[in-house]
């Protein structure tokens, strides 16, 4: 997600480029947001971005976001969501509280 944000910012020559990673507790969850101002995802592409082998890049494999979603949702019992925001995109990862504690055991 961070690499995709960086590539979008570079491809669009964004001035005052920004990628933010925000981590906070939300009720019984750990919420991680990755926010950029790289121009967002087109309406046509949005429903497909988590599909395996879907890419908008010339040399992309289309596996990164798909694998991120599988790992977060199937193996970490979490949620990965995306939405366009002003000038960019926000990915949100929600993990149930306690997951981060269990990983330290």
Q: What is the CATH number of the domain that holds 11?
A: 3.30.565.10
CA 7 to chain centroid: 13
Q: What domain count does the chain have?
A: 1
* Per-residue pLDDT reduced to its tens digit, 36-94: 999 999 999 999 999 999 888 878 788 999 999 999 999 999 999 999 999 999 999 99
Is the Cα dihedral 51, 23, 76, 97 positive or negative? negative
**Structural domain boundaries, residue 93:** 2-102
> The pTM is what?
0.86
* Per-residue pLDDT reduced to its tens digit, 5-45: 999 999 999 999 999 999 999 888 999 999 999 999 999 99
Q: DSSP class of residue 43? A: T
């Amino acid at each position: 997600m961070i690499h995709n944000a960086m590539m979008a910012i570079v491809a669009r020559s964004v001035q005052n480029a920004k990628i933010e990673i925000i981590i906070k507790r939300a009720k019984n969850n750990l919420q991680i947001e990755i926010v950029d101002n790289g121009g967002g995802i087109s309406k046509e592409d949005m429903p497909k971005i988590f599909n395996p082998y879907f890419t908008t890049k010339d040399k992309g494999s289309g596996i990164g976001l798909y694998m991120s979603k599988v790992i977060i949702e199937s193996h970490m019992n979490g949620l990965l969501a995306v939405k366009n925001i002003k000038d960019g995109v926000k990915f949100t990862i929600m993990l149930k509280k306690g997951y981060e504690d269990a990983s330290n055991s």
